[in-house]
């Protein structure tokens, strides 16, 4: 079955850069879209952006200046890089398969921004 | 760039039906059929319940149904069961100059 697993640091200092990786198994990372979605503690979901297997990306307008996504089809991984982290970026970060609707999600990883 | 509007909470007794609304604008919900719904239990990842307004993924109970009228989409849960108690979120594609995806504010469903 399709599985996604996020990996990365659970704690990031203010102003630093967050780097997360999502490893996909049970599905080909090619010919599909792959998204990042986050959820601040006790709050709602926010779409961060997606990357197509070809490398084409689309980001949320409010995060566009700080976000970069990349994909490594040879490793079945895609990544998120978010710069200039602040406390407002504290959230559970999910990777998910698709764009428009998301049928498979990772379990999520809590990222806390604190010094 | 505002979130879609959902009621904060809805409740119903077992066996009853509840409907959750998701109100957007002519730039998102009213502009396309890319509306989806997600169920989220505490501490868990969201689960896709409805996509493209009315379609149910394989494995999702037919007690869940979706519809749309104008700028408002709806999720109806029929024959409410204790396991349906969760948070529910809608999502839509926007057709602004820089298209992106937006989620609803979320609705907590309580089974009385």
List of chain B residues whose C-beta atoms are within 8 Å of the C-beta of residue A102: 36, 38, 46, 48
Q: How many residue pairs bridge chain A and chain B with CB atoms within 8 Å of each other?
A: 56
Q: DSSP string of B48-105?
A: EEEBTTTB--TTS-TTEEEEEETTEEEEEE-S--GGG-EEEEEEEE--SSS--EEEB-
Cβ atoms of A78 and A93 within 8 Å: the answer is no
Could you say which of B1, B45, B101 has the minimum Cβ distance to residue A105? B45
Q: Does residue A102 carry a pLDDT above 90?
A: yes
Cβ atoms of B103 and B3 within 8 Å: the answer is yes
Give the model's pLDDT for residue B1. 60
Average pLDDT estimate for A12-17 = 97
Please name the residues between 52 and 81 in chain A that touch chain B, using a CB distance below 8 Å.
58-62, 64
Average pLDDT estimate for A17-28 = 96
pLDDT classification of B97: cutoffs 50, 70, 90: low
| Closest chain B residue by Cα to residue A46 | B103
* Among B61, B58, B105, residue whose Cα is nearest residue B80: B61
The Cα B41–Cα B85 span in angstroms is 8
pLDDT classification of A72: cutoffs 50, 70, 90: very high
* Among A107, A2, A76, A112, residue whose Cα is nearest residue B44: A107
Contact B99 A102 (CB under 8 A): no
Give the model's pLDDT for residue A53. 93
**Closest chain A C-alpha to B30 CA, distance in angstroms:** 15
Could you say which DSSP state residue A52 is in?
E
Average pLDDT estimate for A61-78 = 95
Interface test with B, best of A102, A103, A104, A108 (most B CBs within 10 A): A102
A102 in B contact zone (CB under 8 Å): yes
Query: Mean pLDDT of all residues in chain B?
Result: 95
List of chain A residues whose C-beta atoms are within 8 Å of the C-beta of residue B1: 61-62
| Closest chain A residue by Cα to residue B48 | A103
CA angle, residues B2, B5, B8, in degrees to nearest 5: 130
pLDDT classification of A100: cutoffs 50, 70, 90: confident
**Contacts with B37 (C-beta within 8 Å, 6 or more apart), sequence order:** B22, B48, B49, B50, B51, B64, B66, B73, B75, B88, B89, B90, B91
| Closest chain A residue by Cα to residue B28 | A100
Give the model's pLDDT for residue B78. 97
* Among B87, B92, B94, residue whose Cα is nearest residue B20: B87
Interval B12-28: pLDDT, tens: 999 999 999 999 999 99
Interval B27-69: pLDDT, tens: 999 999 999 999 999 999 999 999 999 999 999 999 999 999 9
**Closest chain B C-alpha to A99 CA, distance in angstroms:** 8
């Amino acid at each position: 079955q399709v599985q996604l697993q996020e990996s990365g640091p659970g704690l990031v200092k203010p102003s630093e850069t967050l780097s997360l990786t999502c490893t996909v198994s049970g599905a080909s990372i090619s010919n599909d879209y792959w998204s990042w979605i986050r959820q601040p503690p006790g709050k709602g979901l926010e779409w961060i952006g997606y990357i197509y297997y070809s490398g084409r990306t689309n980001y949320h307008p409010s995060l566009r200046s700080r976000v970069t996504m990349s994909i490594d089809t040879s490793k079945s991984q895609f990544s998120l890089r978010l710069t200039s982290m602040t406390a407002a970026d504290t959230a559970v970060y999910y990777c998910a398969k698709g764009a428009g609707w998301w049928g498979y999600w990772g379990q999520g990883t809590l990222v806390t921004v604190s010094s | 760039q505002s979130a879609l509007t959902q009621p904060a909470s809805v409740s119903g007794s077992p066996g009853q039906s509840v409907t959750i609304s998701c109100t957007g604008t002519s730039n998102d919900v009213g502009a396309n059929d890319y509306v989806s719904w997600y169920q989220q239990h505490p501490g868990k990842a969201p689960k896709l319940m409805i996509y493209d307004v009315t379609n149910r993924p394989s494995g999702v109970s037919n007690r869940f149904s979706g519809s749309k009228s104008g700028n408002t989409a709806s999720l109806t849960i029929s024959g409410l069961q204790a396991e349906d108690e969760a948070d529910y979120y809608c999502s839509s594609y926007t057709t602004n100059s820089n298209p992106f995806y937006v989620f609803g504010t979320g609705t907590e469903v309580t089974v009385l």
